């Protein structure tokens, strides 16, 4: 893969055999398990030539033919592009370079109809990973590697794929062109890392098996439980008495979890009436709420449709938008643009709009018509200029 003549011969052979090329997978790589000081110049250059140079040479050779078929390039990077391990300097550097090269090619050739993606798998339990750990000469080095990486080991036979999908909630599903989620562990909020002392009773375990938890399996939750008992302000307490400071309350309700004025208003309303069938009527207090909210909204924002939660509100906003364009004679305007790293709710439409890849993995395929752009963070800016960003968005909207 590092020899230009060999890659040219490979390109010709592939064309002679298949006629047309639709997919290119750049997967070749070598690893020298050494630090920078231990690595020779020859070893460094060899890793760069195979791991990164191979992606460059094969992509350059096949791109003219992929443009004709509007094909796709899949580059195999690694979680080591984001989470490094000891004595792996050259390999980690090459895998990080593949991420940058993938982004550059996606910008350059996306407008030509060629999609360019990167997949960043972890270790796969196919026989080599365990033997690799066990073969380390220094046990002190092998042990932290197993602690850090073995929970990430994927299964070949589980989920039907050895690339990207990992058992249970301990792995990740990696999304192309989404640097915030490549290599992220779903387990980062588990009680094992929080040090939670919650002990589930047999009755609680039985009930958990008869309910459904958002974005995670019941068995994983039972292994790492978090059962909350009460709240006050910005704090929660679990059934073991441990206190948690949570920022999520501030995101949703600035007044905290038990604001006294809100509790008083809710108690007063519940004593008068607890439910109004929305298909047949509306509560007088709801009319007052609509009037009050409209009076403080800017501009001409006066129309209000109350909902019980954010996911329901997002779902209805998506329906309103598509209904509006159909009724005004523009049925082809159905696409939505949202940001990577965004969260728009747990309903199906809300998940499709969201950019939180690992949460959505279990429910794919998502609804069509949802495009993703990068958040306005200069620190993670992936474009050379605003003009480049706008050009890519223009092409995305047309396709």
Is 379 part of the annotated catalytic residue set? no
Q: Which residues contact 51 (CB under 8 A, 6 or more apart)?
A: 28, 29, 30, 91, 94, 95, 97, 98
- Cα four-point dihedral sign 74, 78, 81, 87: negative
Residue 317 to residue 144: CA distance in whole angstroms:
48
Alpha helices (H) along the chain: 4-18, 41-47, 53-69, 89-109, 128-134, 139-149, 191-194, 202-208, 218-223, 248-252, 260-272, 284-296, 310-327, 348-353, 357-360, 386-398
**Six token digits for residue 194:** 């929080």
Residue 117 to residue 101: CA distance in whole angstroms:
10
**Six token digits for residue 36:** 């920078």
**Cα angle 77-79-85, degrees, rounded to a multiple of 5:** 120
SS3 90: helix
**Cα angle 42-48-49, degrees, rounded to a multiple of 5:** 85
Beta bridge mates, 72? 23, 115
176 DSSP 8-state letter: T
Residue 219 to residue 227: CA distance in whole angstroms:
14
- Cα four-point dihedral sign 11, 14, 18, 21: negative
Residue 286: name the closest of 261, 308, 317 by CA.
Answer: 308
Name the catalytic one among 91, 236, 340, 343: 91
Residue 85 and residue 148 in contact, taking contact as beta carbons nearer than 8 Å: yes
- Phi then psi for 93, rounded to 5 degrees? -65, -40
Active-site positions read 91
């Amino acid at each position: 893969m590092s020899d230009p003549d060999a890659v040219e011969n490979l390109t010709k052979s592939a064309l002679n055999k298949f006629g047309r090329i639709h997919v290119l997978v750049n997967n070749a790589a070598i690893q020298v398990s050494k630090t920078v000081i231990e690595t020779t110049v020859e070893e460094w250059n060899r890793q760069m030539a195979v791991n990164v140079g191979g992606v460059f040479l094969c992509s350059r050779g096949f791109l003219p033919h992929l443009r004709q078929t509007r094909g796709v390039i899949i580059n195999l990077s690694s979680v080591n592009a984001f989470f490094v391990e000891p004595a792996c300097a050259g390999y980690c550097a090459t895998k990080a370079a593949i991420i940058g090269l993938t982004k550059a090619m996606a910008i350059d050739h996306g407008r030509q109809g060629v999609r360019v993606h990167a997949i960043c798998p972890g270790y796969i339990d196919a026989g080599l990973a365990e033997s690799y750990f066990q073969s380390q000469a220094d046990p002190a080095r092998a042990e932290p590697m197993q602690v850090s990486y073995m929970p990430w080991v994927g299964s070949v036979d589980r989920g039907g794929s050895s690339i990207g999908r990992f058992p249970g909630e301990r792995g990740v599903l990696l999304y192309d062109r989404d640097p915030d989620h490549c290599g992220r562990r779903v387990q980062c909020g588990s009680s094992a890392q929080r040090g939670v002392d919650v002990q589930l009773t047999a009755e609680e375990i039985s009930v958990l098996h008869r309910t459904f938890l958002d974005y995670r399996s019941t068995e994983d939750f039972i292994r790492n439980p978090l059962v909350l008992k009460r709240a006050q302000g910005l704090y929660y307490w679990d059934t073991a008495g441990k206190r948690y400071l949570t920022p999520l309350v501030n995101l949703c309700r600035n007044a905290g979890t038990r604001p006294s004025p809100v509790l008083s208003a809710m108690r007063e309303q519940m004593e008068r009436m607890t439910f109004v069938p929305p298909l047949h009527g509306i509560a007088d207090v709801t009319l007052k709420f609509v009037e009050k909210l409209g009076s403080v909204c800017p501009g001409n924002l006066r129309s209000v449709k109350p909902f019980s939660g954010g996911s329901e509100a997002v779902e209805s906003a998506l329906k309103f938008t598509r209904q509006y364009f159909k009724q005004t004679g523009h049925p082809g305007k159905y696409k939505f643009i949202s940001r990577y790293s965004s969260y728009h709710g747990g309903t199906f439409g809300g998940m499709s709009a969201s950019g939180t890849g690992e949460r959505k993995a279990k429910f794919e395929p998502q609804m069509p018509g949802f495009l993703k752009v990068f958040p306005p963070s200069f620190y993670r800016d992936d474009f050379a200029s605003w003009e480049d960003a706008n050009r890519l968005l223009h092409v995305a909207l047309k396709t």
